[in-house]
Amino acid sequence: LTRIALARRPKGLPEPEDFSFETSALPEVSVGNVLVAVTHLSLDPYMRGRMDDVKSYAPSVEIGGTMTGQGVGRVIASKAEGFTEGDLVTGMTGWTSHAVLPATELRKLDDSLPPSTALGVLGMPGFTGWVGLKEFGRPKAGQTLVVGAATGPVGSMVGQLAKAAGMRTVAVAGGPEKCKLAVETYGFDAAIDHRAYADAGALRAALAEAAPDGVDIYWENVGGKLLEAVIPLMNVGGRIPVCGMIAWYTGLDGDGSDRLPALWRSVLVKRLSVNGMIVFDHWGRFPEFVSEVTPMVANKHIAYLEDVAKGLENAPKAFISMLQGGNTGKQIVAL
């Protein structure tokens, strides 16, 4: 068995010395478990986060521990019901040639499609795009979607499903080759090479041209320059599913004084719902509010305080005071 372990925690971009190769005899298979010879291993952006000793939605890899990851492979020994030698399976094998896993943590694959699809288009990244677009993107025909890392497994799924839903789709990808792929293979209406633009302003101008009616869904894979470029182009009622922020994963972008990466990371890790709201969009429900809350005020189930300034001439003073917290409760002027 050969496995790749985390040798030390990387600073910025990982280096080969951060990993170590370890060999050992094949492990015994105990009851309920299956020995898998790994044929395909998935490499995903989230793995960079697992190399840090930072609390996230998943635990970090210990020093000396096998790098985590999903693999596909063939069963070579089984002590679990339902699994026999030769079965094609997928599970969290880690970066290893062989893995013993509980049968309950393995999923059987059929041989009708290439096994590697279980790691991409039909696996975790493809599912991420599919479910996130339905739940949080809510595609609408005629609207515009922008996605970065557009030729990757998440971005390409998002782009194709949005296109099928009748949206205008704009890809952001690195380099002319990927831009060509975005249009020709994934059917994006336009593709922008983020590497060709030095700053967010220039990238924004290119995006504005590709999205002349503004942006209704910005699928966030990237953060950094692209996020800065796209925010002013968002339309009223736009949606931003925050899926990833790869530009910030190595901690190399910026000097640490910018709080946006920390905020954005909280939105992702804590699955925050961040919604802009303006009362005038909701006046239709005003009668419902009045009939529900009036009796609560009358019964004293809802308390309220008022701070009453006397005389119109005192309005400016009361206003200035209120802006500094001088009021206790709703500031009123009684004439």
> Per the structure block, which two tokens stand in for 43?
């490499």
Least spacing, CB of residue 174 vs ligand NDP, in Å: 2
State whether the Cα torsion 225-273-53-174 is positive or negative. Answer: negative
Span interacting with ligand NDP, options 33-41, 97-105, 210-218, 222-230, rule CB under 6 A = 222-230
Q: Is 151 in the site for ligand NDP (CB under 6 A)?
A: yes
Q: Which of 1, 19, 29, 46 binds ligand NDP (CB under 6 A)?
A: 46
Amino acid residing at 50: R
Identify the CA nearest to 86 among candidates 31, 36, 32: 36
Q: Name the CA radius of gyration of the chain, rounded.
A: 27
Least spacing, CB of residue 251 vs ligand NDP, in Å: 12
In the complex with ligand NDP, which residue's Cβ is closer, 42 or 327? 42
Q: Is 72 in the site for ligand NDP (CB under 6 A)?
A: no
Determine how many CB atoms are found less than 10 A away from the CB of residue 110.
Answer: 7
In the complex with ligand NDP, which residue's Cβ is closer, 130 or 319? 130
Name the DSSP class of 66: B
**Strand ranges (E), 105-233:** 107-108, 144-148, 168-173, 190-193, 215-219
Least spacing, CB of residue 41 vs ligand NDP, in Å: 14
Q: Exposure string (b/e) for 143-182, b if CB count within 10 Å is 16 or more?
A: bbbbbbbbbbbbbbbbbbbbbebebbbbbbbeeeebbebb
Least spacing, CB of residue 248 vs ligand NDP, in Å: 8
Build a one-symbol-per-residue string for 171-210: x at contacts with ligand NDP by CB under 6 A, - elsewhere: --xx---x---------------x----------------
> Per the structure block, which two tokens stand in for 300?
């004293």
Identify the CA nearest to 91 among candidates 79, 76, 103: 103
Q: Which of 222, 230, 240, 309 binds ligand NDP (CB under 6 A)?
A: 222
Q: Which of residues 285-324 bind ligand NDP (CB under 6 A)?
A: none
Q: Which of 36, 44, 94, 170 binds ligand NDP (CB under 6 A)?
A: 44
Q: Is 265 in the site for ligand NDP (CB under 6 A)?
A: no
192, 172 Cβ separation under 8 angstroms = yes
> Per the structure block, which two tokens stand in for 114?
């290439």
Span interacting with ligand NDP, options 23-31, 153-161, 203-211, 306-314, rule CB under 6 A = 153-161
Q: Is 221 in the site for ligand NDP (CB under 6 A)?
A: yes
205, 233 Cβ separation under 8 angstroms = no
Q: Which of residues 100-129 bind ligand NDP (CB under 6 A)?
A: 125, 128
In the complex with ligand NDP, which residue's Cβ is closer, 34 or 226? 226
> Per the structure block, which two tokens stand in for 81?
């019901």
Span interacting with ligand NDP, options 4-12, 111-119, 158-166, 217-225, rule CB under 6 A = 217-225
**CA–CA gap between residue 219 and residue 149 (Å, rounded):** 10
Report the C-alpha dihedral over residues 323, 325, 328, 334, rounded to 10 degrees.
-30
Q: Is 70 in the site for ligand NDP (CB under 6 A)?
A: no
Q: Is 247 in the site for ligand NDP (CB under 6 A)?
A: yes
CB closest to ligand NDP, residue no: 152
Q: Is 244 in the site for ligand NDP (CB under 6 A)?
A: yes
**CA–CA gap between residue 201 and residue 206 (Å, rounded):** 9
226, 194 Cβ separation under 8 angstroms = yes
Applying CB under 6 A, the residues found at the interface with ligand NDP are 44-46, 125, 128, 148-149, 151-155, 173-174, 178, 194, 221-222, 224, 226, 243-244, 246-247
